[in-house]
Structure 1
């Protein structure tokens, strides 16, 4: 029986055109144009949905929500086996995790892109798209949640990260590895996530800002986020989750205003933990009401916090 996969396009390098002078017009190709350039599997029926055509960094919560609705609409079609989303690589990890944490469906949802344009020598457009279609049709990827497919590898949306600005091996999951590979159209899975967190999305997502902690940093950026009406702030701390001491008064003031603050780590691996007792340490901030963000990186923590804040008046620390 022939499988059916829906291809939803959102733009990015994978749909770009060379406009001369070494520059690309990102998201210039429609889904039909992109599909016409590729030798897609002939044993899988492809339905194309041209949703939006934008550069990767034009994505925001509003566009992600529109994409989510389009994905849900296709998943509700019983004839559809899975979804492939083409996306720019610069924000691919954010959109993939947003879909993962807000879509509760057993069918595979694949997010992919390319580091090179369709016209570039040695482009990865065709292999990534073809492999993603095979992955979306694979029974073995059911009930895994949203994944990213890149350079023949399958990554969990929660941990995938762009790790190289231009190399074809542009994505990785430090400390966790990849879930499996696609080899000549065959999907091989070696591990699956134990838990899949998913939350409803019934209200608009609030503003949540990311602020990096560094030596000598003060509260200026935190105060700016508060003035901009942020409902949440994610701190990207050092090591186990430390902030510079001059930031602490502003952090406390944000907490006093009812703003939810989550501490993450800039380290590639490991959890934040209350290991030290000085001002600005994880323990000090936790005692003030800052939520320790486990092993989330700052981008994924921002998305999760925004989703939780849109659903709950109070964010329970155990959810991180």
Structure 2
């Protein structure tokens, strides 16, 4: 309701300013040409201008180009579905049946807890909404940096550029301490799942990507009883994250990324691709760093030394090559800016 009220106020302000400016210009024109001001003519001219304004489609943001704009690429338009909601919120905590059945198979969870009861308990603990990324505004230009974990970030000197963005999205165990000159120090949102959790600063929003019902139950216990400490590997019993800073990635959105963007390649999308498509939906300008191999063809994390050129490329779960081609295609049609690093 607050977001709707803000949009209404901004729209009213815009129309009011338009009327004022139009009145001034037309009044000045009439003052130059005639001595009397024809209010009837003014109304007619303003009505014509207003009809043109209503007829002309509104742009989704105030950037020079907006990533969600359609009509620029058939490839993009066939895949991008603006109606898909990236977040699971307290106001919309329902997962469609087909999405739920597909999601249950991702990690083969046996005897999962009732999903409706789990979501009710979860959103009884966390607010689940109110994050800035959940509100869109056509009067702003929301610049986002999606920072992957590739070794090509080493000696890239991208740090300052990354930190200049409105929102900086990072993922999994990515550290910044000691790598600031290359990867920056600013983080606004961090994507994790229980097995990849890392402690983060108080002002960082944690976006949990759930791959099974147990992941959602882990959030509940990590904020309360601390009873879950193992999924398929050990996970933290407790987490130090403010409840209002916890956001839930929508399982239905995972299915959308898999079907629309991955075209069923791999078993399910990687955190990197889920973060990238997420950004296409919530940001106006998307700049991508730390994706793909380094200049020698090596696939590794920037904080590790890994001589294997094939690491993390084809895991049997994610199709790294196909996912990377999606990134390159988005860059080629100028939907994202892709920084290759070293």
TM-score in terms of structure 2 length:
0.24
Where relative contact order (Cα < 8 A, 6+ residues apart) is larger, the structure is 2
Larger radius of gyration: 2
The structure with the greater share of residues assigned to strand is: 1
Higher helix fraction: Structure 1 or Structure 2? Answer: 2
**TM-score normalised over the length of structure 1:** 0.25
